[in-house]
Amino acid sequence: MRILLALAAAGALAACSSAPAPSSATASPSPAPAVPTFADVSRGDSTSVVKLISFDAKARSAVAEPTIFLLGPDFCEAFHLPSSDPRCERDWNTEDSNTRVTLPVAGDAELLTIHGGDPECFGDDTLIVGTCELTPAKFAALAEDSGEMLAQLTVVDGTATRIAEVYTP
């Protein structure tokens, strides 16, 4: 039995010592292509699209869910989806973070609407956001009536300074 154990141990040592040394030329797998990430609206500075869950004019606070909002073809490219995916044909797509963040709203924050699709209240960018100002009370009513409204949120130092309704035909 001792001889058998000694032979097994010697065989194991021989196998370990004869293993080839790792080569620096060994190909390492390529990292997976990056996909978009959700903005951290709770601190720092950012501008991103969110689902506005609620807006409280008196408490000057908002509850938002960060989202990824992209045009159809851009969404498919960003998430490495085949062009045959039905989402590639849509005007726009969102990916929800399933995270809700409560943040303070600056006293002088811009609160902007598209006034129900009025072209006079549209910005000129690819992402059409509202440009017509509302009072905090009227913006709170709009947010409540809209349910989970898509909005472009600008945060400076963790405080909302601009909330603009996003036009989604």
Q: If DSSP states are collapsed to H, E and C, what string results for 62-89?
A: EEEEEEEEEEHHHHHHHCCCCCCCHHHH
- Quick one: which H or E segment has residue 50? strand 46-56
Whether 108 is covered by a domain: the verdict is yes
Residue-number span of the structural domain to which 115 is assigned: 46-66+101-165
Kindly indicate the confidence band of residue 31, based on its pLDDT and cuts at 50, 70 and 90. Answer: low
Which tens digits make up the pLDDT trace of 92-106?
A: 999 999 999 999 999
Kindly indicate the confidence band of residue 10, based on its pLDDT and cuts at 50, 70 and 90. Answer: very low
Strand 61-71 versus strand 132-133 pairing type: unpaired
Note the pLDDT of residue 98: 95
Whether 79 is covered by a domain: the verdict is no
For 77, other C-beta atoms within 10 Å of its C-beta total: 14
Note the pLDDT of residue 72: 85
Does residue 5 carry a pLDDT above 50?
A: no
Whether 84 is covered by a domain: the verdict is no
Domains contained in the chain, number: 1
Note the pLDDT of residue 47: 95
**Using CA atoms, how far apart are residues 92 and 164, in angstroms rounded to an integer?**
17
**Using CA atoms, how far apart are residues 169 and 163, in angstroms rounded to an integer?**
19
**Using CA atoms, how far apart are residues 17 and 124, in angstroms rounded to an integer?**
69
How distant, in Å, are the alpha carbons of 16, 25, 30, 31 from that of 22? Answer: 13, 9, 18, 20
- pLDDT > 90 in the chain, percent: 62
Q: Summarize the confidence of residues 13-35 as an average pLDDT.
A: 53
Q: Answer for the pair 101, 66: CB distance below 8 angstroms, yes or no.
A: yes
Whether 122 is covered by a domain: the verdict is yes
Q: Summarize the confidence of residues 72-99 as an average pLDDT.
A: 92
Whether 80 is covered by a domain: the verdict is no
Whether 126 is covered by a domain: the verdict is yes
User: Taking all residues of the chain, what is their mean pLDDT, rounded to a whole number?
Assistant: 84
**Using CA atoms, how far apart are residues 53 and 135, in angstroms rounded to an integer?**
18
Note the pLDDT of residue 110: 97
Whether 161 is covered by a domain: the verdict is yes
